[in-house]
Structure 1
């Protein structure tokens, strides 16, 4: 009997995006007769444990990434926490070495976890941010990230390589010295034949307190909306809760299967402009309206880029109102992004 190769999959706990885009990777590993092992922290780990309750899972140190209420202070807040992140990276690398030896790992896939690499086994780094936007410190954040990537054997970008891509200059910088392969967008979802049930689906995600601030604002706004609304808070809790408030159906969270169905049943998606959300909506060819997280330069850039391309309208969080949804038909939506993920390339080192 041939033993299955054990591959550690470790997404960063920064909202839910890194964890959710690892779901199709884990499923593909299982389909190709690998044995995935999960490692993360916080809501990212909680989500993956709900999706894969039978897989081994381990907790890694938290990077303690938080958002200030005032988005203008995001860069300062992140730089202030750099020492904590550095300590967490060092500690997770120590834990990782123990996992490599204890469980005889055959490979590692790290989604933006800087310390999850080993010189003993092939280590793959996944990121769409070869350029890390941080305002006036973009040059520094990019240089530090690229330095960290060099600890890994290879870097894989979840996007198409050509001009018709989703990440723009984030994943396609003009100059980049590290050998990199584009594996195509990653999404856990597929298009299904469901009738449209909801006029709008609100899909929340991301770190606090900005997630809660947007929840409060959108619940107030959509009380006056003339249509059926599905509202998913993005709170990973022990028990799923569903509340009906007139024309609004509110979930605290949805697992992948239910979320896929709900997205397919929804005409318009209102959400953050996180990269994983963009990949998911592109896979489903959806129309959307984006509200980037205040102060998060990556989301602001992605939303602006898609709006300028006349694909998806967007606005700042404090500017949103129901009136902003008028004229959505003049945008083409996230259609014609049909590139499939290349898992053969992603798993080639194993």
Structure 2
């Protein structure tokens, strides 16, 4: 009898999105009979340990990505942090080399971790950013990212190939020789029949200090909201904590099951315009309002695109006030992509001898 193969699933620790969208991939691997080893760091690692207490984990080197306090300094901060990122990538390669040499892994699925690959085992890269937006240097950041993608056997884009799609120019190239597979939007959540319990759900995520800056602003704003509010802070801590003030119930975090119910019980959602959040909202067919992370070109692009299409309104962080939520009713909200994806069909790469 052949030994079960172990696949390393390694999401980048940048907010929670990369980790949460790997949840359906991990479940599909388990369903197909693979062993799974998860590698990440920080809150991404903590979140997946809470979701999958039964599987093995390793801590990978941290990219230590932190946002600038002011949006206009975003690119400058990224350039300043790039030596740290390059060092982490080099260290990732060392960890992977050791795992392969010891025979501990027989395949790799890397979600945006650039050093998590090895020429001796089949390697997949997950990204929705075939184009990486960075303002006037977008052509360069996109070219560099595409060069990294070329080093993997397959690149899985969590979107649909044609139109309408969710990622727009981020996940679609006019011409390419990259080994791209469109795998459909990835979400750990499902639409449920549920009675509306909250008028507004606020969910915050993303790297510091921007997570805290938005939290402080919204704690003040929701006091003026006329209705019942659920506020999820996106802080992954040892245990779940809850407190109430005025019209608002506050949780530090929720696991997938609780979060799924909370989304389904909420009339509308106030959140960042991160791509993973957008995939969740599309699956759940929700109405929302977006506040993109200041200076984060990708979130700003997605928010503008969806606003222009009449799906979700947005405004900049410094301009937000609770009265802006009145605009939500003028927009159509998300509708689901009714094309179910069989993730278990993706693993042919790992199934050969």
1:17/1:274 contact within 8 Å kept: yes
Q: Which residue of 2 aligns with 1:133?
A: 133
Question: Helix, strand or coil: the match of 2:249?
Answer: strand
Q: Deviations over 1:204-224 (max 9, x none)?
A: 000000000000001100011
What's the CA shift for 1:340?
A: 2.6
Give me the whole-angstrom Cα distance separating, in 1, the residues matched to 2:345 and 2:3: 22
Superposed displacement of residue 103, structure 1 = 4.3
Q: Structure 2: 5+ residue runs without aligned partners?
A: none
After TM superposition, give the deviation of residue 172 of structure 1 in Å. 0.7
Q: 1:87 corresponds to which residue?
A: 87
Q: 2:46 aligned with 1:46, yes or no?
A: yes
Alpha-carbon distance in 2 for matches of 1:218, 1:175? 42
CA distance in 2, matches of 1:10, 1:341: 21
Q: Which structure 2 residues correspond to residues 73-84 of structure 1 after superposition, within 5 A?
A: 73-84=73-84
Residue 25 in structure 1 maps to residue 25 in structure 2: yes
Q: Which residue of 2 aligns with 1:278?
A: 278
SS for the counterpart of 1:221 is: helix
**1:324-339 residue pairs with structure 2 within 5 A?**
324-339=324-339
Asked whether the equivalents of residues 184 and 342 of structure 1 are also in contact (C-alpha less than 8 Å), the reply is no
Distance 2:4 2:66 in 1: 38
Q: Is the 8 A contact 2:39 2:45 kept in 1?
A: yes
User: Match of 1:78, SS?
Assistant: helix
Give the Cα separation in 2 of the matches to 1:339 and 1:298. 25
Q: TM-score scaled to structure 1, two decimals?
A: 0.98
Matches within 5 A, 1:183-332: 183-332=183-332
Q: Which moved more, 1:87-96 or 1:168-177?
A: 168-177
Query: Segments of 4+ in structure 1 off by > 3 A?
Result: none
Distance 1:182 1:279 in 2: 14
> By how many angstroms is 1:26 displaced?
0.4
Question: Over residues 170-215 of structure 1, what are the superposed CA-to-partner deviations in whole Å (9 max), with x where a residue is unaligned?
Answer: 0012233312110101000111111000000001000000000000
Counterparts of 2:192 and 2:79, CA distance in 1 = 43
Deviations 1:296-344 (A, max 9, x none): 0000000000000000011101111111011311111111422333414
Asked if the contact 1:109/1:126 (under 8 Å) is kept, the reply is yes
Summarize deviations over 1:235-277 as a string: whole Å, max 9, x none: 0000100001121000000000100010000010100000000
Unpaired runs of at least 5, structure 1: none
1:110 is aligned to 110
Query: Does structure 2 conserve the Cα–Cα contact (< 8 Å) formed by 1:156 and 1:346?
Result: no
Q: Which digits, 9 at most, give the CA deviation of each residue in 1:74-108, with x for residues without a partner? A: 11111111111111101101101111232431210
Task: Tell me how many residue pairs correspond in the alignment.
Answer: 350
Tell me the residue number matched to 1:348: 348
Secondary structure of the corresponding residue to residue 72 of structure 1: helix
Paired with 1:345 and 1:146, the residues of 2 have a C-alpha distance of 25
* SS of equivalent to 2:262: helix
Taking only aligned residues, the RMSD between alpha carbons, in angstroms, comes to 1.1
Give the match's secondary structure for 1:288. strand
Q: Distance in 2 between matches of 1:247 and 1:326?
A: 18
Separation (CA, whole Å) in 2 of partners of 1:140 and 1:319: 31
Q: Which residue of 2 aligns with 1:153?
A: 153
The 2-side partners of 1:322 and 1:211 are apart by 18
Give the Cα separation in 1 of the matches to 2:338 and 2:70: 37
Q: How far apart are 1:2 and its partner, in Å?
A: 4.3
